[in-house]
Structure 1
């Protein structure tokens, strides 16, 4: 029997193990450094902008000041840039609606204050005088102002209902040909021999389908017809033409009144704006009827405008209101 003795030097193995561990440590350090720099980069490009957007949104929500604007990240072609743009658009829309609400409140206060001041002045004067005819004249002024207030408050209430209803309503298919003919029959029966007659003409193809809320579409026609009646000669005929032009349904309401002054054509749909003629009876208009029409039409993806009817010698012979809605056919 023999004996085999193996010997080795462990220093070489230890050195190899040490080198492997050193490489692992170096790789770990490199990975750590990359992770740190990546975290800083992500914080600057994602987390920090989002935090600034959140802070600005909170400032806007609390209504601290209009000086707060959404961080401009329009140069970023990613989701953060799209988010910033959407928030900015939302903020601009919010401020615009707040401006409209403030302006509307101021306009309402002004429109209500005027007749109230007139009523107060007329009553104070009536108390001090003994002449019966003068008192009767002052009471006539009071009644006119009361009628104006009644019309104004009714239209303001109607405007609020329109805003609330259209913001949550579901649009349905509406056959305007049937709706308009029913309105024509009811209107003429209601007016009788006391006012202007209504004549609605349906041009070919005689059927007109749109998406919308039937009651509000009828309200648009009613407001336009009543507006035409107030400016038309007594017992005149108000004409409404309905036709299809390409993919639009067009409703045209015409009267033979004095027309619209050129400076009013661009302003006639503004709230509380009135283009009242000298001979028109006071208190017939609140200045909201046409604005209500415009809101209803626009929320039905349509448009409305006004123009004058002119003769060959360019003399104005009436006014024309045109409404267009997208057709379903």
Structure 2
């Protein structure tokens, strides 16, 4: 399996959740979608400004109409005054009152013509109107609309009952007011000072129910849109919660069961139909759980194998020590001491190899890889062997086809790679007959570096070519003393090679001669010479 090195320093840290840390994912999805609806609800604020613009426009029109009517009154004969007032109020659907400088009402359009509007009593209206007014008050409160005064028809209709009339009398300028009629429709008023035979103040009032109808209609349309968007948002949130939160919850439950030590019983859903990030996460968790199962099984098997392998030398050592107490012959005592010494060396070798085999993965995950020239490394190893004369005069010869300097370069841990290749060479030497030849070759092929070790031994049957890399494999050459090898050499070599992203395999020799060939394949260093 290829080794993956993760640089945690390069991973950006997730920003911590502050105000939403305790919210579930479903709640967050709903909150985000409803927030978007709330932003749309800001249209109610716009409707308030829309109503204000309508009122301001209507008041401006009233002021302009009063100015034009003032001109018309100045041009009209006195006997045309009443008819002109009636025609003006009928067309504008308004009411005109006239007050003199003393504040007394001197004329009223409703006194000599049918009323152009009627203030309705809310108590006599159906309940739907009460609901509409309650909604108007609620929305005005939400948007912070100004609290306009309620209108009441004055019992003593004099100028003092109308603040806008008094303002006009004092300043001589137009004055306007906005009030709510009893049924909560706008009642607008505007004044103008006219100077006919004597100064007078015209007061024009208008019950603009159409403004309320227009605003309510727009609010109703906006409410319908909001309701539809809210329903769609909630349904979308539930859909997202179903497609996102539910599978995440299933994965979390499976992960908890794995954490509780039930990895063999847990089936993590792989969600094969999903091609999004959740599907990727599900398959990654499933693969991780499978790898965890394999590691647990491998650990148990390794512990069982270690126990089995340690029992033999311990039993032999115990038997030799017990025999020392019974035998009297110095020759037998020396023989038993030799057996005990050999068993101690065997135990030491086993413990050392077991320790190395169990720590390789952890050590490689923390090792910083460096460029390693495989040719130079093997050449140095063989020079050390020659200096120690390990193979002896009658041992197999070693031939090395050295590659050109810098061509067979890999990224790795030189000490570990040297241990892997050394174990393979040891294995080849142990199976080669005296006077045989162990051939070593290192070369680069494309993006890979191949290291091949051939021996003149009996070869490896096809059925055993995978088994030889298992821990404590016991297939040894004929005539070798028992216990000289721990059975971990090739297993350690495979772990090291796979930790470097490479592979190792046994095969027949390329020249079809008797013997075995072990081939190591490693990724070549990027940018190196091909």
* Fold similarity call, TM over 0.5: yes
Normalised by the shorter chain, which TM-score bucket? 0.7 to 0.9
Summarize the alignment of residues 123-134 of structure 1 with structure 2, pairs less than 5 Å apart. 123-130=321-328, 132-134=330-332
Select 1:87's aligned residue among 265, 282, 285.
285
Shift of 1:262: 4.8
Shift of 1:285: 0.8
Select 1:144's aligned residue among 332, 336, 342.
342
Counterpart in 2 of 1:322?
A: 519
Cα distance between partner residues in 2 of 1:79 and 1:303: 31
Larger CA deviation: 76-85 vs 8-17: 8-17
TM-score, reference length from structure 2: 0.55
Counterpart in 1 of 2:24?
A: none
Shift of 1:235: 6.0
CA contact (8 A) 1:260 1:275 kept: no
Once the two structures are superposed, residues 162-212 of structure 1 have per-residue CA deviations (whole angstroms, 9 ceiling, x without a partner) of 323211222222222222222222210111783545332225688422222
Counterpart in 2 of 1:23?
A: 221
Larger CA deviation: 264-273 vs 29-38: 29-38
CA contact (8 A) 2:452 2:520 kept: yes
Counterpart in 1 of 2:303?
A: 105
Counterpart in 2 of 1:8?
A: 117
Cα distance between partner residues in 2 of 1:72 and 1:239: 48
Larger CA deviation: 197-206 vs 276-285: 197-206
Larger CA deviation: 7-16 vs 216-225: 7-16
- Does residue 1:279 correspond to 2:471, yes or no? no
Structure 2: segments with no counterpart, 5+ residues: 1-72, 74-80, 95-115, 119-206
Counterpart in 2 of 1:118?
A: 316
CA contact (8 A) 2:263 2:293 kept: no
- Does residue 1:74 correspond to 2:183, yes or no? no
CA contact (8 A) 1:147 1:283 kept: no
Counterpart in 1 of 2:124?
A: none
Once the two structures are superposed, residues 220-263 of structure 1 have per-residue CA deviations (whole angstroms, 9 ceiling, x without a partner) of 22112222222333465533223344443322223333433554
Cα distance between partner residues in 1 of 2:244 and 2:452: 55
Shift of 1:131: 5.0
CA contact (8 A) 1:310 1:318 kept: no
Cα distance between partner residues in 2 of 1:193 and 1:286: 19
Counterpart in 2 of 1:265?
A: 465
Cα distance between partner residues in 2 of 1:310 and 1:23: 85
Select 1:253's aligned residue among 444, 453, 460.
453
Cα distance between partner residues in 1 of 2:265 and 2:521: 40
Counterpart in 2 of 1:49?
A: 247
CA contact (8 A) 1:238 1:254 kept: yes
Shift of 1:269: 0.7
- Does residue 1:307 correspond to 2:307, yes or no? no
Once the two structures are superposed, residues 75-99 of structure 1 have per-residue CA deviations (whole angstroms, 9 ceiling, x without a partner) of 1222222221222122222222222
Once the two structures are superposed, residues 111-142 of structure 1 have per-residue CA deviations (whole angstroms, 9 ceiling, x without a partner) of 11222122223333443344555544444433
Cα distance between partner residues in 1 of 2:304 and 2:363: 24
Cα distance between partner residues in 1 of 2:303 and 2:501: 27
Counterpart in 1 of 2:387?
A: 189
Counterpart in 2 of 1:36?
A: 234
The verdict on how the C-alpha distance between 1:15 and 1:118 changes in structure 2, with shifts beyond 3 A counting, is same
Larger CA deviation: 235-244 vs 79-88: 235-244
**3-state DSSP of counterpart to 1:325:** strand
Counterpart in 1 of 2:415?
A: 215
Cα distance between partner residues in 2 of 1:248 and 1:21: 73
Select 1:233's aligned residue among 412, 433, 447.
433
CA contact (8 A) 2:375 2:405 kept: no
Structure 1: segments with no counterpart, 5+ residues: none
Q: Which has the higher contact order (CA 8 A, sep 6+)?
A: 1
**3-state DSSP of counterpart to 1:156:** helix
Q: Compare CA radii of gyration and give the structure with the larger one.
A: 2
Cα distance between partner residues in 1 of 2:280 and 2:430: 51
Cα distance between partner residues in 1 of 2:456 and 2:470: 23
CA contact (8 A) 2:429 2:438 kept: yes
**3-state DSSP of counterpart to 2:519:** strand
Shift of 1:64: 4.1
CA contact (8 A) 1:184 1:199 kept: no
Equivalenced residues, count? 326
CA contact (8 A) 1:297 1:303 kept: yes
Cα distance between partner residues in 2 of 1:230 and 1:69: 46
Counterpart in 2 of 1:295?
A: 495
Cα distance between partner residues in 2 of 1:320 and 1:225: 11
